[in-house]
Amino acid sequence: MSVFPEDFLWGGASAAVQMEGAYLEDGKGLNVADIQICYKKAAGGGNTNYTRELLKQRIADVQAEKQQQYYPKHKAVDFYHRYKEYIGWMKECGFKAFRMSISWARIFPNADDEYPNEAGLRFYDEVFDELHRQGIEPIVTLTHYDMPLKVVTHYQGWYGRRTIDLYERFAQTCLKRYKDKVTYWIVINQINLIFGESFSSLGMVMDEYEDFTAAKYQAVHHEFVASAGIVKAARELDPALKVGMMLADQLTYAKTCDPQNVKVAIEKNRMKDFFFADVQLRGEYPGYAKTWFKKHGITIQMEDGDEELIRSYTMDFLAVAYYYSHCVDENGNRCANPYTKATEWGWTIDPVGLYNTMAQYWDRYGVPMMIAENGVGVEEALGSDGCIHDEYRIDYQKRHIQELKDVMEEGTDIFAYTMWSPFDIVSGNSCEMEKRYGLIYVDIDNEGNGTGKCIPKDSFYWYARLINSNGENL
């Protein structure tokens, strides 16, 4: 008997800005992803932070008659026009679920529009209908690094309190429109990535703030308030809807067993991961976070009713993106882990870390969980036989899924595994096409050249066999 239940949701995950393209078609407005250029192998850099001047330059270039830069997410892999083809490949692989996002700027092009864009709403109707026709459950992230640009330029991103209302209106529009087509909703993609993805995630311009770190935590508070408001709206609309939060897991080990080193690692895990989940799953700011804020001179401005809303409307499930683990020394500096290897982008490969982190979350929260992202990015090219023999990806997925099985055997409630990604897409931060995660090779390069043809890799067929055996045929 399989450790995975019969209704376990095997599948893959992607995001609107990384796959759709069609960046201004059918009424869509500009969003933060539309001004991002490609930075090859930009480890921790690329499109992370923006100054006023850089933002001004990028907007001017994007709006110019002839752009000086190439913006990969304008075209991406053309899911907007080819969604039936891509969903067909998912069906062939045996997918039970597809985690995707709705582009906020496709529904409300400027965020503060009087009415939603009907063409955008219809597009997602068609995608959800096609998924259901193919027997695939949509799991929907409401925002995945696609804030309308006007929220940045006019409302200070998530730092501005008005963004709560704008986002709740967008979310409620989606919930009402698609409540009969979508059960599982993730409110905000990787809410804890406020440093590595600060512009994409929060829509904040770094030189507008005297203390950028403090400003980012204020912005996160506004995300907490908006998220709780969306849970409230969903439960009032239909109690059967499931609304979850999502973490980019940043499991951190101590370099040594020196107690001081262990203490430092505990603080890292608390403030990089647990803080966000403690608020959204337990309903309150934990004492260690309040102490950390005081130590760093940070005061969170709260309005009447914020704390009660957060306390009353906690999340139904936890979605986790797991790619790698970290290691720190006694001073809190990141260091190499001698027990793990790394990808060419410097991401550690630590399958056991998936067990470690999911066990911790289960013991701490005891709520249903899903693996929302898990995969490996590799620079790949077609071989002389016209194929890609990606045994490294098969090995990566196999070892991680084995750890998933191990933690589930102990009673951990995990209901879905959506690997990243079903097909090659534009990378999130660096905007590379050549950092390939897909089970399917898409013939497009960093400059947008190529036929766009889809070619299944060896991992596609391996994953199909795995799904067909409900996780037993590893």
pLDDT at residue 42 tops 60: no
273 within some domain: yes
Q: Given the structure tokens 């080819």, which residue do they identify?
A: 82
Structural domain that includes position 71: 9-468
Instruction: Enter the DSSP assignment of 203.
Output: -
Q: What's the pLDDT score for residue 259?
A: 97
pLDDT tens digits for 365-421?
A: 999 999 999 999 999 999 999 999 999 999 999 999 999 999 999 999 999 999 999
333 within some domain: yes
Distance CA 21, CA 77 (A): 6
Give, in degrees to the nearest 5, the angle at Cα 201 between 30 and 230: 90
Q: How confident is the model at residue 439 (pLDDT cuts 50, 70, 90)?
A: very high
Residue 204 sits in a domain whose CATH number is: 3.20.20.80
Q: What's the pLDDT score for residue 240?
A: 98
- Residue 229 near residue 313 (C-beta atoms within 8 A): yes
Q: Is this structure's pTM higher than 0.85? A: yes
pLDDT at residue 201 tops 60: yes
> In whole numbers, what is the pLDDT of the chain averaged over residues?
96
Through-space distance between the first and last CA atoms of the chain, rounded to whole angstroms: 14
**Helix segments in 179-302, DSSP class H:** 198-202, 212-237, 259-269, 275-277, 287-295
- Residue 407 near residue 414 (C-beta atoms within 8 A): yes
- Amino acid (one-letter) located at 258: D
- Residue 229 near residue 309 (C-beta atoms within 8 A): yes
Domain count, the chain: 1
pLDDT tens digits for 140-173?
A: 999 999 999 999 999 999 999 999 999 999 999 9
Which are the contacts of 379, defined by CB distance < 8 A and separation ≥ 6?
344, 434, 435, 436
pLDDT tens digits for 286-336?
A: 999 999 999 999 999 999 999 999 999 999 999 999 999 999 999 999 999
Give the count of beta carbons closer than 10 Å to the beta carbon of residue 238. Answer: 12
350 within some domain: yes
Helix axes 118-133, 162-178, angle to 10 degrees: 50
- Exposure string for 361-388, b = 16+ CB within 10 A, e = fewer: bbeebebbbbbbbbbbbbebeeeeeeeb
Give the count of beta carbons closer than 10 Å to the beta carbon of residue 115. Answer: 7
pLDDT at residue 47 tops 80: no
Q: What's the pLDDT score for residue 117?
A: 99
Q: What's the pLDDT score for residue 428?
A: 85
Which are the contacts of 98, defined by CB distance < 8 A and separation ≥ 6?
11, 12, 13, 14, 87, 90, 131, 136, 137, 138, 139, 418, 422
Q: What's the pLDDT score for residue 49?
A: 84
1 within some domain: no
The SS3 assignment for 105 reads helix
Distance CA 366, CA 359 (A): 10
Instruction: Spell out the SS3 assignment of 308-376.
Output: HHHHHCCCCEEEEECCCCEEECCCCCECCCCCCEECCCCCEECHHHHHHHHHHHHHHHCCCEEEEECCC
314 within some domain: yes
428 within some domain: yes
474 within some domain: no
Region 247-263 average pLDDT: 96
- Residue 52 near residue 63 (C-beta atoms within 8 A): no
176 within some domain: yes
